């Protein structure tokens, strides 16, 4: 089990938990979390309609309706996306995934003051 030592990591963990529940409500089945290689990590691996979906979760926290200084999507840098792609390719080879696979993102904005979350799903950032 992954250990979280900072407040930022804890926010990320909460965001991943929320993302998993959100995805399950949308018909995805979560099959793995935090698949890690030295060159990248996949936050959540899901299956829907016979296709594998690799999910990158980006979470930010606000307080009492404050406007966030950055949107979660802005944390998807080209460097991060390349690492995600390499990790997904490793997963496909290691697990012998057959058929289509997609890389998607879930953006979570947590309002810690009122204990609410806004969740956005972006499908097909890239596909294999």
> Looking at the domain that runs over 7-127, which CATH code has it been given?
3.40.1350.10
Contacts of 77 (CB under 8 A, 6+ apart): none
Q: How far apart are CA 91 and CA 40, in angstroms?
A: 11
Domain definitions of the chain by residue range: 7-127
State pTM to two decimals.
0.86
What letter does residue 30 receive in the DSSP assignment? Answer: E
Cβ-contact 103, 84 below 8 angstroms = yes
pLDDT, tens digit (0-9, with 9 covering 90-100), for 5-48? 677 788 889 999 999 999 999 999 999 999 999 999 999 999 99
Residue 58 has pLDDT above 80, yes or no: yes
Q: What is the mean pLDDT of the chain?
A: 86
Q: How confident is the model at residue 78 (pLDDT cuts 50, 70, 90)?
A: confident
Cβ-contact 75, 68 below 8 angstroms = no
Task: Give all strands of the β-sheet with 116-127 in edge-to-edge order.
Answer: 29-37, 40-48, 51-62, 101-111, 116-127
Q: How far apart are CA 85 and CA 89, in angstroms?
A: 6
């Amino acid at each position: 089990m992954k250990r979280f030592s900072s407040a930022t990591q804890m926010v990320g963990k909460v965001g991943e938990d929320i993302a998993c529940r959100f995805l399950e409500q949308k018909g995805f089945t979560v099959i793995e979390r935090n698949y890690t290689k030295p060159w990248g990590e996949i936050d959540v691996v899901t299956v829907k309609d016979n296709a594998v979906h690799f999910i990158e979760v980006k979470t930010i926290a606000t307080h009492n309706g404050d406007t966030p200084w950055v949107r979660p999507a802005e944390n998807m840098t080209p460097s991060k996306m390349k690492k995600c792609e390499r990790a997904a390719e490793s997963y496909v080879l290691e697990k012998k995934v057959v058929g289509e696979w997609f890389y998607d993102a879930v953006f979570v904005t947590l309002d810690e003051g009122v204990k609410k979350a806004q969740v956005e799903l972006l499908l097909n950032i890239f596909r294999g």
